[in-house]
Amino acid sequence: MNGKIAVDLGNVQKTMLLPLWGRAVETQKEHPLLVDRTALEIVGKIDYDFSTITSNISPLSQAAWIMRSLYVDDILKNFLARRPHGTVVNIGCGLETNFERVDNGLLTWFDLDLPDVIALRQQFLKENERRNFLTGSFLDDAWLDHIQVTDGVLFVAAGVFYYFEESDIKSFFMRLADRFPGCEMVFDVSSPTGVKVANKRVIESAGLDERSYLKWGLKNTAVLTSWDRRFQLLETRFYFKHKELDRRVKFAGFISDWLKIQYLVHMRLGNA
């Protein structure tokens, strides 16, 4: 016995270990873009050979995970500056640690994921009077009854939606707009080309099989606003324009951004 916590996850859920590892590695750099000491602690407590899924991961993929976290944190902080008592719902939370990085002491937070993920999450992170763990798929509606909103709500889905069909995402967004008019949504997307690249260079490189493949590729952000006239695109953030990124990563990142391999979208769903 080594005193560490074993990991027993499904194929798609196992992909959550990749960005966790990426944040831990970044934190240990001499000049990190992101400091996530909670991620570093979790990696140290997990009984898992991360080399089995990270040995072939490219610096570009690792940088994308860091930039996604930085941009999501920034949008969260801006939301909470406008709505200090706002509600945040982290969909498919995995082992994300945004709460630890942005908590203002006033917000209400919900972490949602499948039962096996939440069971693992509870080994490292705890609920409190403002932070709640919910089990279930975002495609089910039962969990929505638990969401309490007093000062607006922002839904976050990092590394989630491209594992599902476009029709599932569209239907989910429409239900949110009906139930929480004026809510905001932040999520990452890939182009159809990006989905193919990610499946080949990230999923397969990590030793995961086709059950972990990405499915949804977004051709253009105009598709999102065409789903419903209540939907508004607030901003789009591409990952590799950050001035402090390694020059070699920035060159490859320029191609990635141009091909829309992966980027972040911020929307408003419905009128408040």
The percentage of the chain sitting over the pLDDT mark of 90, rounded to a whole number, equals: 60
Residue 1's pLDDT is 46
Q: Are strands 263-269 and 46-47 parallel, antiparallel or unpaired?
A: unpaired
- The CATH number of 5-269, from 3.40.50.10470, 3.40.50.150, 3.40.228.10, 1.10.460.10, is 3.40.50.150
Q: Copy the structure tokens of residue 121.
A: 């999450």
Residue 89's pLDDT is 98
For the cut 70, the answer to whether the pLDDT of residue 211 exceeds it is no
Report the mean per-residue pLDDT for the chain: 88
Per-residue confidence band for 13, with pLDDT thresholds at 50, 70 and 90: low
Condensed to tens digits (0 to 9), the pLDDT of residues 234-268 reads 999 998 877 677 777 877 888 888 888 889 999 99
Q: Is the pTM of this model over 0.75?
A: yes
Which residue, among 91, 114, 106, 104, has the nearest Cα to 186 in the 3D structure?
91
State the average pLDDT over residues 94-115. 96
The percentage of the chain sitting over the pLDDT mark of 70, rounded to a whole number, equals: 90
Which residue, among 260, 196, 241, has the nearest Cα to 33 in the 3D structure?
241
- Rounded to whole angstroms, the Cα distance separating 219 from 221 reads 7
Residue 57's pLDDT is 75
Residue 243's pLDDT is 67
Condensed to tens digits (0 to 9), the pLDDT of residues 44-74 reads 998 888 877 677 777 888 888 999 999 999 9
For the cut 90, the answer to whether the pLDDT of residue 153 exceeds it is yes
- Rounded to whole angstroms, the Cα distance separating 88 from 93 reads 12
State the average pLDDT over residues 29-54. 88
Condensed to tens digits (0 to 9), the pLDDT of residues 16-25 reads 888 999 999 9
Per-residue confidence band for 199, with pLDDT thresholds at 50, 70 and 90: low
Domain ranges, ordered by start, for the chain: 5-269
State the average pLDDT over residues 128-136. 96
Pinpoint the alpha helices (H) of 98-182. 98-102, 115-121, 166-179
For the cut 70, the answer to whether the pLDDT of residue 32 exceeds it is yes
Pinpoint the alpha helices (H) of the chain. 11-14, 17-27, 37-45, 51-54, 59-82, 98-102, 115-121, 166-179, 192-198, 222-226, 247-258
Percent helix, strand and coil across the chain, each rounded to 5?
45, 20, 40
